[in-house]
Structure 1
Amino acid sequence: MPTTRRIAHEFLERHGLTTIFGNPGSNELPFLAELPDTFRYVLGLHEGAVIGMADGYAQATGRPVLVNLHAAAGSGNAMGALTNAVYSRTPLLITAGQQVRSAIGLEAMLANVEPTQLMRPLVGWAGEPACAADVPRSLAQALFEAQLQRRPTYLSVPYDDWTVELDADAATVLDRKVRLGRNPADAELTGLVDALAGARNPVLVLGGDIDAAGLFERSVHLAEHLDLPVWVAPSPHRLPFPNRHRLFRGVLPAGIAAVSEALAGHDLILVLGAPVFRYHQHLPGAYLPAGARLVQVTDDAAAAARAPMGDALVADPAPVMAALLDRIPARGAACQAYLPAPDPVTATETVHPEQVFAALRETQPEDTCYVVESTSTNSAWWRQMDLRRPASYFWPAAGGLGFGLPATVGVGLAWPDRPVVGVIGDGAANYGITALWTAAHYRIPVTFVILRNGVYGALRWFTELLGTTDVPGTEIAGLDFAALAAGYGVPATAVTGLEELRAQLKSTAGGPRLIQVDTAATAPE
């Protein structure tokens, strides 16, 4: 009879979860034993980096990914990074080893006490099988819940379960499939078409889910077809629309009053694939400008339910966009679609971030994918970059530091034939620094650009916003990321001037490389 482990491995293989990101402990070894040759194990040196790599890989591939963590301690180490995966709606199947069943109640060393509660409320589902025979079914539920909810799930498995022989009933999960369809009713589509047709000055607001769903090019077609200005919802984890397009108006600010001010004058606000809205700075005011109606279309039922204003249609945005293209006559006029970037702002004593981003725009291929974690430079980023391709931009969806370096590794692993560049602030880089070892060990061809300004720039900005300018802990001078990278096996260069930076960016390498560039401190807008 097959063992629990054999059934589990076959189930994972049938569903394409053959790349495992992990950092194993003793409880996980029985699951990893006898792993088929068709599987690939990607080792990370810290669980936060493991989650970040898996998050980037899953977003790039568009498929669920298996993560294997160690009991309670390893799971706890991963929770900071897990917040980003939650808000990017990444379907991670997280498994963790548990002590043998007879030792759990004794709280023996490495027992995971109340494992179903440990990762909540971050995960959408958490479980521990009642017995060895329930492991295959529980594993299947963890995967299907992750797919249906588009949210990480968590399964704790006692390690003595993996070698138990099971009867034929336990293998019935191997042939299971679970699907979700959310096509809107015709009456809903007709109402939305009528609302757009009757609006005096409508506007589109697009969220990161549009890019994640493969609708980037359709969003361009829709905006041009209707000749509508396009904003991107606050704090996007993906870019759903080209940022140099003539209809692009920018990324909405993350404050209530600021969003209302940006959307003033529009009578219909159509939001596709985004919450409404994910605010950050506490800037109270009216949720919407006077006279405006908001309609949200999202397949995220929780986001629709918690919104404080507007009407929501819980549906797949794809058929909604198709219906708008089909049922509303074209309004757009043929004209130049893309606008040039402005001249970059310069700094007197060092390189300004705008100059760095202009150099990236001018030296890197048009299909480069950027993983960005430099909060204090976001306004400079959008002023200078020219991103016209799907899946060109990834950002930590919850603002949890430590996403950038690991996610760059994960995206690079998923797309070895596409240029991948991580643009990371010196503050954020420390939280995922061990990802450099994985990049070096697997020779992943990515470029890390570390912006070194010696401060937590976004935090400095908040001290001004909150009137707390006398607080400690905002300076981080003296970090040498070129030396750190070399220690992890990644070739690295530290540059201080623009021409030196451009020369480095034009060069190529067969594996990972890191460029540290000293920049002027800036603040987000």
Structure 2
Amino acid sequence: MATVAETTFRILRARGLTTVFGNPGSNELPFLAHLPEDFTYVLGLHEGAVVSMADGYALATGGPALVNLHAASGTGNAMGGLTNAVYSHSPLVLTAGQQVRSTIGQEVMLANVDAATLPRPLVKWSAEPACATDVPRTIDQAIHTALLPARGPVYVSVPYDDWAAEADPESAHLAGRTVTSGGALTEGQRDELVALLDEAHAPLLVLGPQVDAAGAGHDAVRLAEALRAPVWIAPSASRLPFPTRHPAFRGVLPAAVREIAEAVEGHDLVLVVGAPVFRYHEYVPGRFLPEGTRLVQITEDPKEAARAPVGDAVVADVASTLAHLAHAIAVADRPEPPPLPPFPEPRTLPGAVHPDELFALLREHAPDDALYVVESTSTAASFWAQMDLREPTSYLLPASGGLGFGLPAAVGAQLGRPDRQVIGLIGDGSANYGIAALWTAARHRVPVVVIVLKNGTYGALRRFGALLGTGETPGMDVPGIDFTALARGYGVPARSVAAGADFVVALKAALASDGPSLIEVVTAELDEDGGPR
């Protein structure tokens, strides 16, 4: 008779979940004791890093990722990472060990009290099986739920004595099940959208992360070219849905009501595909849209559609919708957008590396298909001005601004995509949140390149301080951190540079390595115009 553990591992294997990201406690040992030889356990030194590594892995591969947490304490440590995973629609399957089933109500040490409630609302679905024999079915339900549109993280708490129990023989059917979704547009919806776009005088496309996640970037390009329409990336997008050097590309929309309205001025139709309407951040109130502008949203997430404050919404599969529109739209009788101007001359700094210069050198010397995981908020303007990103899944950003995503996610993304070079661009403030992931990179010889931009301050906070008029406040600066010493302590070769030429030498050495590397780049605190403060 098969045990609950054996049956569950058959299900996980059938779903491709043979890599486990975790940080174990005593409640998890019975699960790990049964881990089959064809499974890989990726140990992280803190649950926040564990979840972000799994998030990067899932985003880079396009598949689910399995996470094993320790009861309530480990789940609590992981919830900062979950704030990003829920908004990036990452299909993470989180499991957590629970105390022996008969003792939970006594609230003994390490009992996860009301376990299913703890991670809400940061998961799509959460459960603790009612009995041991229901564990395999619950795990199977969790996997399918995570992968069905709109994708998202799920959570299952399992009492640790359940794993050794006998499984229900009927559980053998679970590994062979399939669950698919058919969320395509109806013929009437397709015809209405095509007519709307054909009749628009000045349409505008706003594309979001679901486009990249669906592998629909090429159809997005075809649609933009047929419409002769400019393209913006939705504000705060966690992925890149459109090539940055295409003539139609206009950049990333600002994350403020009034500024978005100003950006879409002059367009009678705004088609938002694969993004919320909108992820505002800076409170700059105003009209949602200019007079005479209509907005239509296409999203796979019914919650995004329902909570939008403006426009009409269609909940549908993004890939098939874009494919249909790209081939059904007649080429518009409008002039083609002019070619983009050359890259601006990168600014330099005395005794440091300006972000302009850093990103220009990356553009020149990094592989064309590099995958960038970015958590350096204050250098975003320089990044978009200097980078040439053309490949699908070439850019990942923390979807909800939760610091600690970038460095671990870069490690996880490189684990998931050994065929692509992953480069983490991490601010020195955010690097400290996930620094322990360097140990995992060293342990598994993950050839990720981590670039820490060191300016000694929380640059994004200083910009917000200027916006809010708060002036100088405590807690803005983080001076005196030697990231090369930290990296070496975790077993990762590291080098500090303060000049562009030295950065190129360090980058070439890192790219030639068969293991992880860290480059600390000394930059400077910049003002709003990009000059030294």
Q: Normalising by structure 2, what TM-score? A: 0.96
CA contact (8 A) 1:93 1:146 kept: yes
Relative to 1, partners in 2 of residues 1:95 and 1:61: Cα closer, same or farther, differing over 3 Å?
Answer: same
- Within a 5 Å distance, the mapping from 1:51-450 to structure 2 comes to 51-148=51-148, 149-331=150-332, 339-450=341-452
**CA separation in 2, counterparts of 1:203 and 1:486?**
49
What is the aligned residue count?
A: 525
What SS does the aligned partner of 1:37 have? coil
CA contact (8 A) 1:413 1:444 kept: yes
Relative to 1, partners in 2 of residues 1:369 and 1:339: Cα closer, same or farther, differing over 3 Å?
Answer: farther
What SS does the aligned partner of 1:312 have? strand
1:457-492 per-position Cα deviation (integer Å, ceiling 9, x unaligned): 000111111111131000000010000000000000
Counterpart AA for 2:521: V
For residue 326 of structure 1, report the CA deviation from its aligned partner.
2.4
1:289-314 per-position Cα deviation (integer Å, ceiling 9, x unaligned): 11100000111111000000000010
CA contact (8 A) 1:184 1:316 kept: yes
Counterpart AA for 1:353: P
CA contact (8 A) 2:216 2:322 kept: no
Q: Does 1:452 align with 2:454?
A: yes
For residue 335 of structure 1, report the CA deviation from its aligned partner.
8.5
Match in the other structure for 1:521: 525
Relative to 1, partners in 2 of residues 1:445 and 1:56: Cα closer, same or farther, differing over 3 Å?
Answer: same
For residue 81 of structure 1, report the CA deviation from its aligned partner.
0.7
- Residue 473 of structure 1, aligned match among 475, 478, 499: 475
Counterpart AA for 2:159: P
1:251-299 per-position Cα deviation (integer Å, ceiling 9, x unaligned): 0000010100111110000011110100000010001111100000111
1:163-211 per-position Cα deviation (integer Å, ceiling 9, x unaligned): 0012312333222221111010111111111111111111000001101
- Residue 461 of structure 1, aligned match among 449, 463, 474: 463
Match in the other structure for 1:504: 506
For residue 325 of structure 1, report the CA deviation from its aligned partner.
2.3
Superposed structure 1 runs of 4+ greater than 6 Å apart? 332-336
CA contact (8 A) 1:244 1:340 kept: no
**CA separation in 1, counterparts of 2:98 and 2:518?**
38
**CA separation in 2, counterparts of 1:338 and 1:37?**
53
What SS does the aligned partner of 1:118 have? coil
What SS does the aligned partner of 1:95 have? strand
Counterpart AA for 2:243: P
What SS does the aligned partner of 1:424 have? strand
What SS does the aligned partner of 2:116 have? helix
1:325-354 per-position Cα deviation (integer Å, ceiling 9, x unaligned): 222222377898665321112224422111
With 336-345 and 395-404 compared, the bigger mean Cα shift is at 336-345
What SS does the aligned partner of 2:184 have? coil
Counterpart AA for 1:7: T
1:438-473 per-position Cα deviation (integer Å, ceiling 9, x unaligned): 000000011100000000000011111111113100
Relative to 1, partners in 2 of residues 1:328 and 1:342: Cα closer, same or farther, differing over 3 Å?
Answer: same
For residue 221 of structure 1, report the CA deviation from its aligned partner.
1.9
**CA separation in 1, counterparts of 2:296 and 2:515?**
46
CA contact (8 A) 2:228 2:337 kept: no
CA contact (8 A) 1:494 1:515 kept: yes
**CA separation in 1, counterparts of 2:514 and 2:478?**
32
**CA separation in 2, counterparts of 1:523 and 1:210?**
34
CA contact (8 A) 2:247 2:337 kept: no
1:72-92 per-position Cα deviation (integer Å, ceiling 9, x unaligned): 000100000111111100010
Match in the other structure for 2:42: 42
Counterpart AA for 2:138: S
What SS does the aligned partner of 2:270 have? strand
**CA separation in 2, counterparts of 1:496 and 1:320?**
48
CA contact (8 A) 1:245 1:339 kept: no
What SS does the aligned partner of 1:117 have? coil
CA contact (8 A) 2:253 2:263 kept: yes
What SS does the aligned partner of 1:371 have? strand
Coordinate RMSD, CA, aligned? 1.4
CA contact (8 A) 1:372 1:424 kept: yes
Relative to 1, partners in 2 of residues 1:93 and 1:21: Cα closer, same or farther, differing over 3 Å?
Answer: same
For residue 319 of structure 1, report the CA deviation from its aligned partner.
2.2
**CA separation in 2, counterparts of 1:335 and 1:299?**
30
With 50-59 and 323-332 compared, the bigger mean Cα shift is at 323-332
With 374-383 and 171-180 compared, the bigger mean Cα shift is at 171-180
For residue 509 of structure 1, report the CA deviation from its aligned partner.
1.1
Counterpart AA for 1:21: F
CA contact (8 A) 1:341 1:386 kept: no
CA contact (8 A) 1:371 1:423 kept: yes
The answer for unaligned runs of 5 or more in structure 2 is none
**CA separation in 1, counterparts of 2:418 and 2:335?**
39
Counterpart AA for 2:79: M
**CA separation in 2, counterparts of 1:163 and 1:62?**
32
Counterpart AA for 1:520: A
Q: Normalising by structure 1, what TM-score? A: 0.98
Identity %: 57
**CA separation in 1, counterparts of 2:194 and 2:413?**
38
CA contact (8 A) 2:198 2:330 kept: no
CA contact (8 A) 2:452 2:520 kept: yes
**CA separation in 2, counterparts of 1:402 and 1:386?**
26
CA contact (8 A) 2:3 2:164 kept: yes
**CA separation in 2, counterparts of 1:56 and 1:140?**
22
What SS does the aligned partner of 2:521 have? strand
What SS does the aligned partner of 1:183 have? coil
Relative to 1, partners in 2 of residues 1:203 and 1:422: Cα closer, same or farther, differing over 3 Å?
Answer: same
CA contact (8 A) 1:458 1:523 kept: no
What SS does the aligned partner of 1:494 have? strand
**CA separation in 2, counterparts of 1:173 and 1:192?**
40
**CA separation in 1, counterparts of 2:341 and 2:247?**
6
Counterpart AA for 2:141: Q
Match in the other structure for 1:5: 5
CA contact (8 A) 1:370 1:394 kept: yes
Counterpart AA for 1:40: T
What SS does the aligned partner of 2:271 have? strand
What SS does the aligned partner of 1:431 have? coil
Relative to 1, partners in 2 of residues 1:131 and 1:116: Cα closer, same or farther, differing over 3 Å?
Answer: same
With 90-99 and 175-184 compared, the bigger mean Cα shift is at 175-184
1:378-421 per-position Cα deviation (integer Å, ceiling 9, x unaligned): 01110011101111100000000001110000110011121110
The answer for unaligned runs of 5 or more in structure 1 is none
For residue 23 of structure 1, report the CA deviation from its aligned partner.
0.5
Counterpart AA for 1:472: P
CA contact (8 A) 1:445 1:511 kept: yes
CA contact (8 A) 1:378 1:524 kept: no
CA contact (8 A) 1:98 1:159 kept: yes
